[in-house]
């Protein structure tokens, strides 16, 4: 070491010692033990280069000590399993839902921050987003999972059913992303996970609105992915992941059987949740399709329609939702008959005066009106 180098002192910062060396009349700083020499500098320099390479090409990795996870629709089904899986990892988890489980409910997850939020309402999403930032912190992992379904033909769907399904399944993702993405960009750390469906690539009959909403989520993910920068490089610090599972064993499609339990089995929500948390932990981007047949469904979009029609007929995909509609009708009829029977029993036990009976008969009935109730009774 030259005399000039000997005059340079050590700089202490906590437990880290920074030593300055003079190499070729230039000052070069490196952290480490002053007794190890330039070899330690090379080790640390190599480690820094590897970390920078990982940051640019791989991006952020899920860290339960740093990241705050928000799951929409996290009170039941897949959302509940996602909230539980991230909580078991030790992460701070926030749930947006309109049905909040009580502490004695089996869907309640200890330690999760539950917020009542109708994600189809943009004003409520912004309001709850501000509350989360003030009370919990900045969300860095956003999982758009909320969804509903209405299995019916397009002509039999009401305008309200169409608007509600699109608002919950599709528009809510726009609202949550606009609410939480700016904070992620400021921190240069974020993960946006979109839960779509394989039905976004091939939708059966009687699921026009649901299939359209899932196709919209796939397109939203693709466009947002490129808006954040080239997918090859993680320039802004925010990553996106699209998850397209097949049919899940949840109440959403209760009573619907898949065309083939061999090639298209029903998926356990916990199985899908474990795949999602594994992908986020590894820093994966792109798409995750479960089960395997989901990887070949996009190919059918480029096949001539006569061939697709034959394949749809063989698979029986267009008949799956008939059972869903039939079950819904049977449930409605059973509920109507049950209510009519109970009302008849109540009237026999507690007879009313003629004026009261007349006034009740003029009251509109919620289950199909007076004529319908007379027929069912």
User: What amino acid positions are annotated as catalytic residues?
Assistant: 210, 214
Per-residue b/e over 45-75, b at no fewer than 16 CB within 10 Å?
eeeeeeeeeebeeebbbbebeebbbbbbbbb
Q: Are 138 and 120 in contact (CB under 8 A)?
A: no
Sheet holding 26-31, edge to edge: 11-13, 16-23, 26-31
| DSSP one-letter code for 267 | B
Strands 26-31 and 68-72: unpaired
Within 10 angstroms of residue 296's Cβ, the number of other Cβ atoms is: 10
Q: Nearest-CA neighbor of 276 among 187, 144, 127?
A: 144
Determine contact, residues 147/195, Cβ cutoff 8 Å.
Answer: yes
Distance CA 277, CA 282 (A): 9
Q: What's the CA gap between 128 and 118, in Å, rounded?
A: 10
Alpha helices by DSSP H, listed for the chain, are 3-6, 38-57, 77-88, 122-135, 159-166, 172-187, 208-227, 269-282, 305-315, 320-349, 354-361, 369-376
How many residues appear in the chain? 377
Q: Which two tokens stand for residue 24?
A: 């070729």
Determine whether 8 is exposed, middle or buried from the number of CB atoms within 10 Å of its CB (0-12, 13-18, 19+). middle
Check if the beta carbon of residue 169 is closer than 8 Å to that of residue 148: yes
């Amino acid at each position: 070491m030259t005399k000039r180098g000997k005059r340079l002192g050590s700089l202490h910062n906590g437990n880290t010692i920074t030593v300055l060396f003079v190499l070729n009349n230039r000052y070069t700083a490196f952290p480490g033990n002053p007794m190890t020499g330039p070899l330690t500098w090379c080790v640390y320099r190599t480690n820094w280069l590897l970390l920078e390479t990982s940051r640019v090409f791989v991006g952020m990795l899920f860290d339960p000590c740093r990241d705050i996870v928000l799951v929409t629709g996290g009170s039941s089904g897949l959302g509940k399993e996602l909230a539980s899986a991230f909580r078991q990892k030790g992460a701070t988890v926030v749930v947006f839902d309109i049905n909040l489980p009580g502490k004695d409910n089996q869907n309640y997850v200890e330690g999760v921050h539950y917020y009542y939020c109708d994600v189809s309402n943009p004003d409520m999403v912004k309001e709850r987003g501000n509350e989360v930032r003030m009370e919990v912190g900045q969300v860095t992992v956003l999982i758009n999972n909320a969804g509903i379904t209405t299995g019916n033909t397009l002509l039999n769907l009401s305008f309200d059913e169409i608007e509600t399904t699109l608002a919950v399944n599709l528009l809510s993702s726009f609202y949550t992303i606009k609410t939480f993405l700016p904070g992620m960009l400021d921190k240069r750390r974020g993960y946006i996970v979109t839960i779509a469906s394989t039905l976004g690539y091939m939708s059966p009959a009687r699921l026009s609105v649901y299939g359209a909403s899932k196709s919209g989520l796939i397109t939203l993910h693709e466009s947002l992915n490129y808006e954040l920068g080239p997918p090859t490089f993680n320039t802004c610090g925010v990553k996106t992941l699209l998850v397209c599972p097949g049919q899940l064993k949840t109440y959403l499609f209760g009573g619907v059987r898949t065309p083939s339990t061999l090639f298209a089995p029903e998926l356990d929500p916990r199985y899908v949740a474990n795949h999602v948390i594994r992908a986020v932990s590894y820093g994966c981007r792109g798409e995750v399709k479960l089960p395997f047949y989901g990887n070949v469904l996009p190919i059918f979009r480029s096949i001539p329609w006569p061939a697709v029609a034959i394949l749809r007929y063989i698979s029986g995909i267009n008949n799956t939702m008939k059972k869903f509609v039939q079950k819904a009708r049977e449930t409605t009829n059973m509920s109507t008959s049950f209510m009519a029977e109970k009302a008849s029993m109540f009237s026999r036990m507690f007879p009313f005066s003629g004026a009261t009976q007349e006034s009740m008969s003029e009251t509109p009935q919620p289950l199909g009106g007076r004529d319908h109730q007379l027929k069912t009774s």
